[in-house]
Chain A
Amino acid sequence: LAKTTQPISMDSYEGQEVNITCSHNNIATNDYITWYQQFPSQGPRFIIQGYKTKVTNEVASLFIPADRKSSTLSLPRVSLSDTAVYYCLVTALGAGSYQLTFGKGTKLSVIP
């Protein structure tokens, strides 16, 4: 499994765009990149998934360069409610068991 590295913590003011970068130098051809969000006292929640280039949904955007050795989660105009831990995961497609491998995540604190 490809190991992921991301910042331990980040601070941002309300209304700003936040970019969290994750490195996964050993990503394999059939690996997907997935991001989860976790609020205190809750389970993780799926945000977005991608393989290459750019993916956008109503919550976030995911940018993946051509070499796929890193990815950036972009949260537009964050609010206080976006304070959470964000996990970058790399998971092999078609591996049979879709177990998720979590790292330490990035603790995002949004400041008023």
Chain B
Amino acid sequence: EAGVTQFPSHSVIEKGQTVTLRCDPISGHDNLYWYRRVMGKEIKFLLHFVKESKQDESGMPNNRFLAERTGGTYSTLKVQPAELEDSGVYFCASSQVGDTTYEQYFGPGTRLTVT
């Protein structure tokens, strides 16, 4: 079974540019989460999708970040315009609805560098 995949693995952009990160969850997982770790900080929750609906977006830092999950399959996270403080590693995770554990399956992350 394929795990959670993320693309790209690394992105370097200039301040003010736009970047779109993609996450493909494990097939059949309706829960999809985005997290990020900025330099020197802990991994922080950004938002949670159940299928195509945003269940919780309390962690989104500001309106420069837009997450979508059309069709309830893969998800994209767009940063527009990117700022220097957006540099970090963005993780995607997925899990099954109804799973009574807190086992979320994480992807390898996308390392974003804003210069």
Contacts and interface: CB of A to CB of B under 8 A. Distances in A.
B108 interface: yes
**Binding site of A, secondary structure by majority: helix, strand, loop or mixed?**
loop
Contact of A46 (B35, B44, B100, B101): B101
B56 A49 contact: no
A66 B16 CA distance: 53
A54 interface: no
A97 B34 CA distance: 12
Interface residues of A, number: 22
A81 interface: no
Chain B interface residue count: which class? 20 to 34
A102 B102 contact: no
Given A98-B48, A100-B35, A41 B102 contact: no
B108 A43 contact: yes
Contacts of A46: 101-105
A98 B95 contact: yes
B4 interface: yes
Contacts of A44: 43, 91, 104, 106
Nearest to A32: B102
A98 B104 CA distance: 9
A65 interface: no
7 contacts: A43-B109, A45-B106, A96-B56, A99-B56, A103-B42, A104-B42, A105-B42
Interface of B: 4, 31, 33, 35, 42-45, 48, 55-56, 58-59, 91, 93, 95, 100-109
